[in-house]
Amino acid sequence: MQLSGIPTLEGFSPRRRNLLKSSAALIAAAGAASMTGGTSTASAQPTTAPKPSVRGLSGQRHVGFMLAHEQFTVPQLLDIGTSATKAGFSLLATSDHIQPWQANEGHAGEAWVTMGALGARIQPAWMGTTVTCPTFRYHPAVVAQAFATLSHLYPGRVFLGVGSGEALNEKAATGTWPVWQERWDRLVEAIDIVRHLWTGEPVGFAGKFYTVNAKLYDPPPQPIPLLTAANGKKSMRLAGLHGDGLITDPDTWKKHKAEWEGGAKEAGKDPSTMPVLVEKFVVVGDKDEAAKSAELWRFLPKAFKKYYNVVDPAEIQKQADAQVPLEQVMSSMAIGMDPAIHIAAVQELFDSGVTIVNVHSGQQDQQKVIDFYGRSVLPKLTG
């Protein structure tokens, strides 16, 4: 399959034709504008109405649990993830960093290794990254191969979340950190490469940023949902255009939901059938415990307004300590020992159209949170 032209479905095996019915593979096979002529632009439009490839993630609600590689070691995360799924969380999301956001968080294990080790313990829960940047630290072909391999180990349970990255990962590891528009142009091109490789057909492409002449000899046995992260108005529309689903935060979802829906509709997709994952910070405890958690995640209010351009986690921590009051961080958390507080926070997101509420607690005692939710929150959610 040559990406420099406009490939068709002719010549594909029946198995590959079925796989090409995933949203992006069909876009690519019909000749998405972003993959023709050897260039890629963030405004590229698909030429064919895509069909969703999200299956078990669409039409269902999930409460996920965040595995924070910034705060815990990989062995700890294996135990945390196992406990979470036993308590009733049906999805696990993992951060994917080479450094933590703040130096005081203390850790940064490799997310794909964690997922490989964890999958056998958490059947039948979903797992995936929120998010992987497939453009600098990882080449898109390597991302395609890694997640295809994970999907053979745990078929029908792996999703890939992608984003345009942060300097603390991409610039720190490669020395490369272009302006926002180029980072998104790279992401769009990378998404198309990943999806083409997942078909299992030969891929020959010389684009603006990447050259690929390869095929995956072990492509995914079924389509892998590819969710795109966004934290602003422009990126929300682009995520709707190019992703099978969305990863975002509560504030961005509230402000710019219409942008994402508009982008999805423009690409011929039905946003009501697409998964939306929103991360919700919680604390099972009092204000003092919330303040301890907030100290580790103090960067959050300015994460994608300022700190994503800072390379050094120690510098991010220093700036956050000086610029972000703890009360501002805590104001977006669900805090308390009353189950009603947490039930309401999750239910509100579900009622707004979110399909995956990803619970994230910065508390050191993760088991306390897991037990509380498993006993007092998850069984009482509606729908």
Q: Which residues are catalytic?
A: 97, 166
Q: What is the DSSP string of 162-194?
A: E----TTTHHHHHS----HHHHHHHHHHHHHHH
Q: How many CB atoms lie within 10 A of CB 37?
A: 10
Name residues whose C-beta falls within 8 Å of residue 289's C-beta, 6 or more positions apart in sequence: 283, 363
Per DSSP (E only), the strands in 177-324 are: 203-206, 211-214, 226-229, 245-248, 276-283
Name residues whose C-beta falls within 8 Å of residue 216's C-beta, 6 or more positions apart in sequence: 144, 145, 148, 197, 198, 200
Task: Sort 206 into a burial class: Cβ within 10 Å, 0-12 / 13-18 / 19+.
Answer: exposed
Backbone angles phi, psi at 190, to 5 degrees: -65, -40
Q: How many CB atoms lie within 10 A of CB 139?
A: 15
Query: Token match 């301890």: residue?
Result: 292
Q: Report residue 379 as tokens.
A: 């069984």
